[in-house]
Structure 1
């Protein structure tokens, strides 16, 4: 069975899973729900908790909304703990506006203060 045919897994999620090397129910079951979710996240995609629940439902062959609240909390806690271990993002926010300062001879003289070299 391919990831595309797993219950709860839509085309976009199936593509993400395939791109991280998870092509079958057995592939996902071998690493578990949270690790499958984390592989997608570490690959640079932006999965939501819906993917976490969808994977769990796919492995349990149930609709993701049927996952008990206690299990959902366990999954979220485990995912949050794994996310906290990720290195910080490498990008930096864009810099502020660039300003150009032009110094004229008068401005330089004013900043230098009185000339103390004569005495």
Structure 2
């Protein structure tokens, strides 16, 4: 059974699974729900917990919303423990709050002209 035809698995999730080498229900069953979820996460994708529940539902042949609450809690705990063991992202600065600076429109044209007034930036014609 291909990843695109698995129960609960939509096109985006199927693409993620294919890209990490999980192409069938048997592939997912072989490594387990949490490890399949973590493979997707380690590949750089940003899966939500819905993928975790969808994978479990696919393995149990039920709708992802029918996964029992106790099992969901187990899955989330296992996924959180695995996520905690991941190394921090490489070569990326820590996310910081985004701020927007607004300039007074009356000074904007003068500032733009000033940027191009410097004769030192142009090569000499001599």
Give matches, 1:4-43, under 5 Å.
Answer: 4-43=4-43
Deviations 1:85-114 (A, max 9, x none): 00011111479xxxxxxxxxxxxxxxxxxx
Change in Cα spacing, 1:94 to 1:83, as seen in structure 2 (3 Å) is closer
State the alpha-carbon separation in 2 of the partners of residues 93 and 53 from structure 1. 29
Where 2:62 maps in the other structure, the secondary structure is coil
Aligned-residue RMSD, C-alpha: 1.2
Give matches, 1:1-119, under 5 Å.
Answer: 1-90=1-90, 91-93=92-94
Q: CA deviation at 1:41?
A: 0.1
Extract unaligned runs of 5+ from structure 1: 96-119
Where 2:40 maps in the other structure, the secondary structure is helix
Higher Rg of the two aligned structures: 1
Extract unaligned runs of 5+ from structure 2: 97-126
Change in Cα spacing, 1:8 to 1:87, as seen in structure 2 (3 Å) is same
Where 1:80 maps in the other structure, the secondary structure is helix
Q: CA deviation at 1:36?
A: 0.2
